[in-house]
Amino acid sequence: MTAPSNIYPTAALKALDAAHHLHPFSDMKTLNEEGSRIITSAEGVWLTDSDGNRIMDGMAGLWCVQVGHGRAEIADAVHRQMCELSYYNTFFKTSHPPAVALSEKLAQLAPAHVNKVFYCSSGSEANDTVFRMVRTYWDQMGQPDKKVIISRWNGYHGSTLAGTSLGGMKAMHGQGDLPVPGVHHIDQPYWFGEGGEMSPDAFGVQAARELERAIDALGEDNVAAFIAEPIQGAGGVIIPPGSYWPEIRRILSERDILFVADEVICGFGRLGRWFGSDHFGLDPDLMAIAKGLTSGYLPMGGVLVSDKVAAGLFEKGGEFFHGYTYSGHPACAAAALTNLEIMEREGLVDRVADDIGPYLQARWRALADHPLVGEARMTGLMGALELVPDKADRTRAFADTGTVGTICRDLSFQNGLVMRAVRDSMIISPPLVLSHDEADYLVATAKKTLDETYAVLKKDGWLD
Ligand SMILES: *Cc1c(COP(=O)(O)O)cnc(C)c1O
């Protein structure tokens, strides 16, 4: 049997979904009362649901569909690969052409000092790999006390035990009794929400010095690594003040700990360079990748490893007891290779830097004039709108955090645009192929949605 698409009417699909399907990050009780929206096909930046509505995918799926939906070229490459060699492992001294070719390609795209890759199937697994790799590195270097990993509150590094632990989502920590020992969280560089009376740059320096204080308090000899997203995605597109990353670089250059850039969202062109680390000049020792690597056509992740870490881990000999059945999966590697080929051929990364990026940013930032918007920010093609009850006072937030965001998100969906709500901010991260006309549609629909949200809030007494 082939996979069913919309062979059932929408109501039947919703009922079966409610009966049998447990969704990620969902309140299944309320979801099942409302019913899921069923997406049946997609092309470019447009989704179609089971009722035939067309909706713009303002989130590129989940931050991943860089080249847009429906690329037959990727499907064809995967089909060819599956006919040739659908699966073989990369354990036990074996490899295969797609894994070899993709590794060479990634080494070419990565910063000059990063030339190796370890494969897995997701961003979460990439960070599980990071977790074990940085500790094993220091063991190999004869410094077994260096074990603590420093990360940030409201960071997101996945949903497995290590991913959740490294992440700074308190609601996630509360389920499963996490984090595991040996992870230390510091504050995030979220000026709009936490900067108080400080200027963005003064706040950025202060937030960066949290890292310095943490390393010194824990003892440099006990710290293995610092992990961070160049721009926090799931935390609400937290774009750090300009002073933040230079100060972090200064602190790291004076201390002997590893730096891990979680590039799962910022990698593969999202910020107008191949990696967020290139955009901010981060010089990472390890880079977690996933999402845009395959544009989501098949699941694949990896850890890009610098020459220094690879040498420390492997030069003395001995096995790194780690790997996944699907590490380097040939069909996924074929999807990744074709995806990267499309990105290069169509110049999608430069397009974000020089064309659609600046075009959308200017229009998005103009939404800051709306009475509901406290800040409209965007770097590359990832942006956020902070919804506030009082434009004049950044420190005032809506009661019942998340309720206003959800109202706005639902209206946006009805209006034909997927925006995601994080707390009471609205997030977008569209495919990198977004055209100018589509960008105009995106901003016009966001504006209409803000107007309607404002009217609802006014009517229901949320605003003075
Ligand atoms: C999505 C995400 C992850 C987790 O990736 P999965 O493929 O969902 O496991 C890790 N880090 C960041 C920054 C992410 O955005």
What CATH number has the domain bearing residue 371? 3.90.1150.10
Q: Is 9 part of any domain?
A: no
Residue among 25, 125, 130, 156 whose CB has most ligand 1 atoms within 8 A, to mutate: 156
Same domain assignment for residues 374 and 229 = no
Q: What is the CATH number of the domain that holds 250?
A: 3.40.640.10
Q: Is 17 part of any domain?
A: no
Asked if 411 and 372 touch (Cβ cutoff 8 Å), the reply is no
> Among the atoms of ligand 1, which is closest to the Cα of residue 123?
5
Q: Is 44 part of any domain?
A: yes
> Among the atoms of ligand 1, which is closest to the Cα of residue 155?
13
Measure 235 CA to ligand 1 centroid, in angstroms: 11
Q: Is the pLDDT of residue 121 over 60?
A: yes
Domain boundary among 297, 314, 345: 345
Summarize pLDDT for 408-419 with one digit per residue, the tens: 999 999 999 999
Same domain assignment for residues 336 and 355 = no
pLDDT at 1: 44
Residue appearing with tokens 């959800």? 406
Q: What is the residue-averaged pLDDT of the chain?
A: 96
pLDDT at 464: 73
pLDDT band per the 50, 70, 90 thresholds, residue 355: very high
Q: Is the pLDDT of residue 4 over 60?
A: no
Same domain assignment for residues 91 and 50 = no
Asked if 288 and 303 touch (Cβ cutoff 8 Å), the reply is yes
Measure 276 CA to ligand 1 centroid, in angstroms: 15
Q: Is 4 part of any domain?
A: no
Measure 64 CA to ligand 1 centroid, in angstroms: 10
Percent of the chain clearing pLDDT 70 (strictly above): 98
Same domain assignment for residues 195 and 326 = yes
pLDDT at 405: 97
> Among the atoms of ligand 1, which is closest to the Cα of residue 263?
13
Summarize pLDDT for 295-308 with one digit per residue, the tens: 999 999 999 999 99
pLDDT at 436: 98
Summarize pLDDT for 323-346 with one digit per residue, the tens: 999 999 999 999 999 999 999 999
Q: Which among 265, 328, 271, 277 is positioned nearest to 114, based on CA atoms?
A: 277
Q: Is the pLDDT of residue 2 over 80?
A: no
- pTM higher than 0.75 for the full model? yes
pLDDT at 395: 87
Residue among 157, 232, 286 whose CB has most ligand 1 atoms within 8 A, to mutate: 157
State the amino acid at position 212 in one-letter form.
Answer: E
Residues with CB under 6 A from ligand 1: 63, 122-124, 127, 156-158, 229, 233-234, 262, 264-265, 290, 301
Same domain assignment for residues 277 and 150 = yes
Same domain assignment for residues 189 and 113 = yes
Query: Three-state SS across the chain?
Result: CCCCCCCCCHHHHHHHHHHHCCCCCCCHHHHHHHCCCCEEEEEECEEEECCCCEEECCCHHHHCCCCCECCHHHHHHHHHHHHHCCCCCCCCCCCCHHHHHHHHHHHHHCCCCEEEEEEECCHHHHHHHHHHHHHHHHHHCCCCCCCEEEEECCCCCCCCHHHHHHCCCHHHHCCCCCCCCCEEEECCCCHHHHCCCCCHHHHHHHHHHHHHHHHHHHCHHHEEEEEECCCECCCCCECCCCCHHHHHHHHHHCCCCEEEEECCCCCCCCCCCCCHHHHHCCCCCEEEECHHHCCCCCCCEEEEEEHHHHHHHHCCCCCCCCCCCCCCCHHHHHHHHHHHHHHHHCCHHHHHHHCHHHHHHHHHHHHHHCCCEEEEEEECCEEEEEECCCCCCCCCCCCCCCHHHHHHHHHHHHHCECCEEECCEEEECCCCCCCHHHHHHHHHHHHHHHHHHHHHHHHCCCCC
Measure 456 CA to ligand 1 centroid, in angstroms: 34
Summarize pLDDT for 362-389 with one digit per residue, the tens: 999 999 999 999 999 999 999 999 999 9
**Residue located nearest, by CA, to atom 6 of ligand 1:** 123
pLDDT at 329: 98
Range of the domain at 372: 37-67+349-459
pLDDT at 6: 55
Summarize pLDDT for 87-104 with one digit per residue, the tens: 999 999 999 999 999 999
> Among the atoms of ligand 1, which is closest to the Cα of residue 125?
9
> Mean pLDDT over residues 110-139, rounded?
98
Same domain assignment for residues 202 and 216 = yes
Measure 122 CA to ligand 1 centroid, in angstroms: 7
Measure 255 CA to ligand 1 centroid, in angstroms: 28
> Among the atoms of ligand 1, which is closest to the Cα of residue 158?
4
Domain boundary among 329, 345, 361: 345
Mean pLDDT check: name the lowest of 27-31, 148-152, 203-207: 27-31
pLDDT at 270: 98
Summarize pLDDT for 258-293 with one digit per residue, the tens: 999 999 999 999 999 999 999 999 999 999 999 999
Q: Which among 108, 65, 130, 97 is positioned nearest to 298, based on CA atoms?
A: 65
Measure 139 CA to ligand 1 centroid, in angstroms: 27
Residue among 151, 152, 264, 297 whose CB has most ligand 1 atoms within 8 A, to mutate: 264
**Residue located nearest, by CA, to atom 5 of ligand 1:** 123
Domain count, the chain: 2
> Phi, psi (5° rounding) for residue 117?
-140, 140
